[in-house]
């Protein structure tokens, strides 16, 4: 966004807010109307450019989103027309979006049927695309993350990720993957990829992997909104379980950081700050899913979060129940990260020695050696056991692997405490 406008110009401020809050939604609608990702991206930027030019003169329109969609679409059709005029071999095979249509009506009609972002997310998560490409594409196109942000979340290089996204878009175009929500018969299977992506998006917002802000509320709110839409569309147990998990984690946001932006650990959080409405909603969903027969991985994680939510104080946490839930989760989805989380819970139930043994076993296998959280966990357990030299080494290792500012400050403070 251009910084040329004065910071306290209300129209510019409004456009900035609109960009942050609505640009991906406008984009999703443009993809439907134009039938092409790249054209929609161009159109989006053209639309905002037009808004910056016209709104100071004409005022902010009554329905800004519809205005932007219409403006973007108009310029895109214009551009396509100019292109076809200059390709003699292309005998007008473009299907230009209905020029006779009233664009505002088209926007409204689309919105009545389904959120265009649902179409977009199902298209981005199509099984014809490689799994990593599905996630990358969704984060890029649905949530508007930059290539750098996504690359960091997955620990790969930005050029590799950019290539992945380009290949995926080419496949969508060449194989003609349609921009639609799957038929009811295909829906359950198609849902799994989508849930995975939503969870990753939430995590990026909940604990940003880079930058100065520990949390980015927009992304987490986005993920929750998408999860809610999915629950409406398909009240599948795992979809409800995922929503429950997101709500319960989100409920703790007000307590997770100090006013200065420093980390507050779960055990130290002021629980009166937790959002009770989100907790009630999350607990109700967990209970509802557990009443049925199918309990999946997200639901189990939600149940673990529910144990914390139900504890009035940290000391009253039922750690044994949490360990049991982790046992079930491990059977369903064996992974070293789940093992690590279980080890931390075991340490709370049985003491740091027991937890440390499990953590060391993971590392001894060669797993998670570059995972910052295992070194942080290990450092904490060593600290509690009074093994200061080893704890310091582990904190240093964790710092090497951590780019997030608030996390770094936390680790540095622990390190400083041990060096006194």
189 binds another protein (CB under 8 A): no
CB nearer another protein, residue 118 or residue 302:
118
313 binds another protein (CB under 8 A): no
Single out the segment in contact with another protein by CB under 8 A; choices: 179-187, 191-199, 326-334, 361-369: 179-187
180 binds another protein (CB under 8 A): yes
95 binds another protein (CB under 8 A): no
- State the DSSP string of 135-159: HHHHHHHTS---HHHHHHHHT--HH
| Residue among 121, 101, 115 nearest 34 (CA) | 101
Of 95, 99, 112, 174, the one binding another protein by CB under 8 A: 174
83 binds another protein (CB under 8 A): no
97 binds another protein (CB under 8 A): no
Q: What residues have CB less than 8 Å from 141, skipping those under 6 apart?
A: 24, 27, 31, 37, 120, 124
Of 4, 57, 176, 293, the one binding another protein by CB under 8 A: 176
Minimum distance between the CB of residue 393 and another protein, rounded to whole angstroms? 52
Both tokens assigned to 81: 């027309």
CB nearer another protein, residue 4 or residue 176:
176
Of 2, 8, 183, 313, the one binding another protein by CB under 8 A: 183
Single out the segment in contact with another protein by CB under 8 A; choices: 36-44, 178-186, 261-269, 391-399: 178-186
| Binding positions for another protein, 20-79, rule CB under 8 A | none
CB nearer another protein, residue 93 or residue 316:
93
Both tokens assigned to 272: 């009166």
8 A C-beta contact, residue 415 and residue 396 = yes
8 A C-beta contact, residue 25 and residue 117 = yes
Q: What residues have CB less than 8 Å from 57, skipping those under 6 apart?
A: none
Report in angstroms the alpha-carbon separations of 104 from 34, 64, 68, 71, 72. 14, 11, 10, 10, 12
Single out the segment in contact with another protein by CB under 8 A; choices: 96-104, 152-160, 168-176, 387-395: 168-176
Helices vs strands, H then E, count in the chain:
20, 0
The Cα–Cα gap between 189 and 61 comes to 41
Q: What residues have CB less than 8 Å from 294, skipping those under 6 apart?
A: 237, 238
8 A C-beta contact, residue 271 and residue 248 = no
The Cα–Cα gap between 374 and 359 comes to 7
CB nearer another protein, residue 89 or residue 277:
89
CB nearer another protein, residue 190 or residue 349:
190
CB nearer another protein, residue 186 or residue 267:
186
The Cα–Cα gap between 13 and 373 comes to 38
8 A C-beta contact, residue 227 and residue 282 = no
8 A C-beta contact, residue 344 and residue 355 = yes
CB nearer another protein, residue 189 or residue 327:
189
Size of the site for another protein (CB under 8 A): 13
188 binds another protein (CB under 8 A): no
| Residue among 252, 201, 191, 193 nearest 224 (CA) | 201
Of 182, 205, 241, 296, the one binding another protein by CB under 8 A: 182
Minimum distance between the CB of residue 76 and another protein, rounded to whole angstroms? 21
Of 128, 266, 273, 361, the one binding another protein by CB under 8 A: 128
Minimum distance between the CB of residue 381 and another protein, rounded to whole angstroms? 49
352 binds another protein (CB under 8 A): no
Residue 279: Cβ within 10 Å count = 21
Both tokens assigned to 269: 């959080």
Minimum distance between the CB of residue 119 and another protein, rounded to whole angstroms? 12
Single out the segment in contact with another protein by CB under 8 A; choices: 96-104, 180-188, 202-210, 229-237: 180-188
Of 89, 277, 291, 315, the one binding another protein by CB under 8 A: 89
178 binds another protein (CB under 8 A): yes
8 A C-beta contact, residue 253 and residue 208 = no
232 binds another protein (CB under 8 A): no
CB nearer another protein, residue 186 or residue 400:
186
Of 108, 113, 175, 273, the one binding another protein by CB under 8 A: 175
The Cα–Cα gap between 279 and 302 comes to 11
- Count of residues in the chain: 420
Q: Which residues sit at the interface with another protein, rule CB under 8 A?
A: 89-90, 126, 128, 174-178, 180, 182-183, 186
């Amino acid at each position: 966004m251009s910084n040329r406008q004065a910071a306290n110009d209300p129209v510019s401020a409004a456009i900035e807010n609109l960009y942050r809050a609505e640009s991906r939604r406008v984009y999703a609608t443009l993809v439907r109307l134009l039938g092409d990702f790249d054209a929609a991206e161009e159109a989006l930027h053209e639309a905002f450019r037009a808004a910056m030019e016209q709104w100071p003169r004409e005022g902010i329109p009554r329905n800004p989103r519809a205005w932007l969609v219409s403006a973007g679409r108009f310029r895109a059709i214009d551009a396509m027309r100019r292109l076809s005029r200059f390709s003699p071999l292309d005998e007008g095979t473009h299907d230009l979006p209905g020029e006779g249509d009233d664009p505002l009506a088209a926007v409204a009609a689309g919105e009545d049927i389904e959120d265009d972002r649902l179409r977009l997310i199902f298209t981005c998560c199509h099984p014809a695309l490689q799994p990593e490409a599905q996630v990358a594409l969704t984060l890029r196109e649905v949530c508007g993350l930059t290539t750098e942000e996504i690359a960091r979340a997955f620990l790969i290089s930005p050029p590799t990720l950019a290539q992945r996204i380009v290949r995926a878009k080419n496949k969508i175009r060449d194989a003609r993957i349609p921009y639609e929500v799957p038929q009811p018969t295909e829906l359950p299977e198609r849902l799994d990829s989508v849930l995975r992506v939503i969870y990753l998006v939430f995590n990026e917002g909940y604990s940003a992997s880079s930058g100065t802000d520990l949390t980015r509320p927009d992304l987490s709110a986005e993920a929750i909104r998408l999860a809610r839409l999915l629950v409406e569309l398909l009240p599948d147990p795992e979809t409800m379980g995922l929503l429950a998990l997101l709500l319960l984690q989100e409920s703790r946001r007000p307590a997770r950081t100090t006013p200065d932006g420093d980390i507050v650990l779960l055990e130290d959080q002021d629980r009166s700050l937790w959002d009770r409405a989100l907790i009630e909603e999350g607990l109700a969903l967990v209970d509802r899913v557990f009443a049925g027969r199918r309990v999946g991985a997200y639901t189990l994680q939600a149940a673990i979060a529910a144990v914390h939510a139900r504890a009035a104080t940290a000391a009253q946490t039922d750690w044994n129940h949490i360990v049991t839930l982790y046992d079930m989760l491990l059977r369903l989805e064996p992974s070293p990260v789940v093992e690590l989380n279980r080890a931390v819970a075991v340490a709370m139930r049985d003491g740091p020695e027991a937890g440390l043994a499990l953590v060391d076993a993971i590392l001894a296998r060669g797993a998670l050696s570059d995972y910052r959280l295992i070194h942080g966990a290990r450092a904490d357990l060593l600290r509690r056991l009074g093994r200061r030299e080893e704890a310091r080494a582990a904190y240093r290792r964790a710092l090497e692997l951590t780019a997030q500012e608030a996390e770094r400050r936390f680790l540095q403070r622990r390190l400083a405490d041990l060096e006194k």
